[in-house]
């Protein structure tokens, strides 16, 4: 019988979403409730196994209420066997909640080991320190049972237990459930070994834009048949707008209001780019728009439009630079012309004491 699995990771229970102003406490509660979405999904699909690939908690020793919440969630799905391999945030320590008593359906890997189920083997490797320089990965026994490896680590290269696709291929597993990267990776293959990052269940910041959720489906010795299910209640979104397309701020405001209208429940970052004839007032724009979404951030990366023909006649270093660059631009075409235009902009920004990508929060 193929094993019905749900794979989640990086819930970071207990993390404080402190950058969301008045909505921080609300969002922190929602991030914790991400685990309720996971257990509901397990119940809905009748999961045999829930794989938790590390960073279930944000810190190694979370508070009693967070620990009790997590234990209750797992106790509420007695039909599902829960497997937990600690990550770099919730690595095992003697005072970790992972050393406490949990409900009978929960298995916590306190060392690298293999648990035998009737139709499957679950291999797990926990973090026992914030950094694990290298793990020695197990090799699957190929005897008709499904083989699954649960581990937290960075396949894209990084200081936290770097893994490689070649090393995963070598394990001969039917599925490797990974944690650490907070974005869903897609269902990937190294040879015949299927592997994936589920990503975090509720996104934790503007570096986690887009849909978040879990991976679920079936795994057998014949292979994996898995897909992504969105579970997050809100999404982080990033919208870039060329403010130079607008003549006045009120026009830009109307456009932004229409753009963010579909995202009432989301955390939205607007990035204003371009060469602008007016100077967008960030505070005024925030005041006008911030109640239209759950949370709004505006980054102003516009720069003022200059009258270059006047500027090139100026008897200053800035004037000489502009004249020289304009002559160059006029003599060039194609990509080289584009590059010279960009160089002029960067140069003028530098004269104004302004980087081109300086952010104001």
Q: Return the H-helix or E-strand segment holding 151.
A: strand 146-152
CB contact at 8 A, 183 and 199:
yes
SS3 168: helix
Identify which of residues 48 and 55 has a Cβ nearer to Mn ion in the complex: 55
The stretch among 3-11, 141-149, 263-271, 348-356 that binds Mn ion (CB under 5 A) is 3-11
SS3 239: strand
Q: Is 132 in the site for Mn ion (CB under 5 A)?
A: no
Q: Of 300, 314, 299, 302, whose CA–CA distance to 345 is shortest?
A: 302
Residue 179 C-beta: closest distance to Mn ion, Å: 7
Identify which of residues 10 and 66 has a Cβ nearer to Mn ion in the complex: 10
Contacts of 72 by beta carbon, 8 Å cutoff, 6+ apart? none
CB-closest chain residue to Mn ion: 55
Residue 272 C-beta: closest distance to Mn ion, Å: 31
- Give the separation between CA 197 and CA 214, rounded to whole angstroms: 9
Identify which of residues 55 and 202 has a Cβ nearer to Mn ion in the complex: 55
- Give the separation between CA 326 and CA 88, rounded to whole angstroms: 53
261 vs 222, 232, 265, CA distance in Å? 46, 19, 10
Identify which of residues 10 and 48 has a Cβ nearer to Mn ion in the complex: 10
Using CB under 5 A as the binding rule, the residues of this chain from 175 to 234 that contact Mn ion are none
Please tell me what DSSP assigns to residue 136. Answer: P
Identify which of residues 6 and 285 has a Cβ nearer to Mn ion in the complex: 6
Residue 11 C-beta: closest distance to Mn ion, Å: 9
Figure out which of the listed residues 3, 7, 10, 70 binds Mn ion, where binding follows CB under 5 A.
10
SS3 109: coil
Beta bridge partners of 50: 6, 82
Alpha-helical segments (H) within the chain: 24-45, 64-75, 165-171, 249-260, 282-289, 308-311, 317-331, 334-351
Identify which of residues 182 and 234 has a Cβ nearer to Mn ion in the complex: 182
Site string for Mn ion, 34-73 (x = CB under 5 A): ---------------------x------------------
Identify which of residues 174 and 208 has a Cβ nearer to Mn ion in the complex: 208
Identify which of residues 10 and 202 has a Cβ nearer to Mn ion in the complex: 10
Using CB under 5 A as the binding rule, the residues of this chain from 283 to 322 that contact Mn ion are none
Q: How many CA atoms lie within 13 A of 194 on its CB side?
A: 20
Residue 180 C-beta: closest distance to Mn ion, Å: 6
CA angle centred on 216, ends 162 and 61, rounded to 5°: 55
Residue 202 C-beta: closest distance to Mn ion, Å: 12
The stretch among 9-17, 44-52, 234-242, 274-282 that binds Mn ion (CB under 5 A) is 9-17
SS3 178: strand
Residue 49 C-beta: closest distance to Mn ion, Å: 21
Residue 12 C-beta: closest distance to Mn ion, Å: 6
Residue 359 C-beta: closest distance to Mn ion, Å: 24
The stretch among 5-13, 62-70, 137-145, 228-236 that binds Mn ion (CB under 5 A) is 5-13
- Residues lying near Mn ion in the complex (CB under 5 A): 10, 55
């Amino acid at each position: 019988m193929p094993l019905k699995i749900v794979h989640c990771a990086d819930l970071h229970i207990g993390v404080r979403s402190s950058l969301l102003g008045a909505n921080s406490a609300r969002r922190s509660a929602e991030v914790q409730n991400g685990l309720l979405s996971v257990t509901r999904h397990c119940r809905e699909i009748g999961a045999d196994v829930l794989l938790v690939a590390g960073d279930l908690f944000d810190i190694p020793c979370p508070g009693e209420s967070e620990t009790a919440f997590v234990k209750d969630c797992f106790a509420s799905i007695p039909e599902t066997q829960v497997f937990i391999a600690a990550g770099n945030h919730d690595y095992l320590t003697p005072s970790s909640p992972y050393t406490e008593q949990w409900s009978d359906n929960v298995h916590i890997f306190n060392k690298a080991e293999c648990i035998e189920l009737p139709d499957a083997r679950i291999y797990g490797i926990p973090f026992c320190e914030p950094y694990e320089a290298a793990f020695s990965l197990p090799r699957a026994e190929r005897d008709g049972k499904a083989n699954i490896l649960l581990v937290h680590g960075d396949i894209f290269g990084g200081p936290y237990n770097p893994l490689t696709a070649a090393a995963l291929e070598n394990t001969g597993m039917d599925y490797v459930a990974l944690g650490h990267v907070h974005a869903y990776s897609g269902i990937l293959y190294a040879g015949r070994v299927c592997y994936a990052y589920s990503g975090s269940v509720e996104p934790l910041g503007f570096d986690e834009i887009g849909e978040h959720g879990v991976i679920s489906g079936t795994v057998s010795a014949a292979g994996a048949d898995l897909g992504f299910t969105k579970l997050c209640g809100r999404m982080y979104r990033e919208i870039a707008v060329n403010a130079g397309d607008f003549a006045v701020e009120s026009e830009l405001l109307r456009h932004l209001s229409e753009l963010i209208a579909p995202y009432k429940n989301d955390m939205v970052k607007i990035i204003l780019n371009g060469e602008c004839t007016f100077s967008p007032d960030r505070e005024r724009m925030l005041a006008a728009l911030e109640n239209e979404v759950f949370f709004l951030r505006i980054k102003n990366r516009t720069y003022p439009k200059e009258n270059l023909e006047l500027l090139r006649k100026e008897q200053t270093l800035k004037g000489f630079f502009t004249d020289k660059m304009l002559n160059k631009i006029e003599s060039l075409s194609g990509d080289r012309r584009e590059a010279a235009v960009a160089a002029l902009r960067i140069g003028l920004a530098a004269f104004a004491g302004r980087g081109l990508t300086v952010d104001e929060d």
